[in-house]
Amino acid sequence: MAQDWRARKRARTKEAIQHSALRLFLEHGYDATTVARIAEEAGVSHMTFFRYFPTKEDVVLSDDYDPMIEELVRARPTSEPPIERVRAAIAQGLTAVYTADQDALLTRTRLLLETPALRARLWENLHATQRLLERALDDTDATGATAPLRLRVIAGASVSALTTAVVTWAENDGHPELPQLVDEAFAVLEHQLH
């Protein structure tokens, strides 16, 4: 019971920091907003900020989506073709995230695209997402060894399809709906693979 309370409190604190940061970034710009100002706005100490986010960039880059997607891919039947496993998992995860955090997701995406310091770290995040998809699809290897080339290509193509849909969505001011764009991007990818 106490552990559940602590986990909920941690989640609320992390969310408060992230929401405060996004609001301040929108109002004052990313570069002009300090960690001290974010912490003050969120009602936490400077040190508490760093317990949740190692850097200012991480307050924008950090999310719980990747671990959720990895779990959802692993939960799909292994009899499904890998690209279908990824597509279905992303659709399921996106439904939950998009409904709850559509505005925050759009704000974070715009910040990533428009802020040089964040763009510089974007490749790291995309590479990490590809690696987790490789792990999730490679049911035979729990050792952490490099996934077979076929799975690496599928994971890389999936990340590319997802990224293209998200960037298109942000560039068009959140239109059409992101789940629709992601589905269309994966439909193109699947069509080209067959």
In the chain, what are the domain boundaries? 2-58, 63-193
Mean of pLDDT values over 14-41: 95
Judge if pTM exceeds 0.75.
yes
Measured distance CA(55)–CA(33) in Å, rounded: 13
**Can the peptide bond before residue 176 be classed as cis, meaning omega within 30 degrees of 0?**
yes
Question: Which pair of structure tokens corresponds to residue 4?
Answer: 């559940």
pLDDT at 132: 94
pLDDT at 22: 94
pLDDT at 30: 95
Measured distance CA(179)–CA(166) in Å, rounded: 9
Q: How far, CA to CA in Å, does 120 sit from each of 61, 166, 172, 188?
A: 11, 17, 22, 28
What would the DSSP string read from start to end of 63-80?
-SHHHHHHHHHHHS-TTS
pLDDT bracket for residue 62 (50, 70, 90) = confident
pLDDT at 145: 62
pLDDT bracket for residue 100 (50, 70, 90) = confident
Q: For the CA atoms of the chain, what is the radius of gyration? A: 18
Quick check: 112 and 118 in contact, CB under 8 A?
Answer: yes
Residue with tokens 């073709």, as numbered in its chain: 81
Separation of CA 45 from chain center:
26
Dihedral Cα 179, 183, 186, 190, nearest 10 deg: 160
Measured distance CA(66)–CA(54) in Å, rounded: 18
Residue with tokens 């992390």, as numbered in its chain: 14
Mean of pLDDT values over 123-133: 93
Q: Which CATH superfamily is domain 63-193 in?
A: Tetracycline Repressor, domain 2 (1.10.357.10)
Question: Which pair of structure tokens corresponds to residue 80?
Answer: 């499904």
pLDDT at 188: 96
- Return all residues near 85 (Cβ < 8 A) that are at least 6 apart: 73, 76, 77, 78, 136, 137
pLDDT at 99: 86
Mean of pLDDT values over 110-137: 92
Statement: 2-58 belongs to CATH 1.10.10.60 = yes
pLDDT at 140: 53
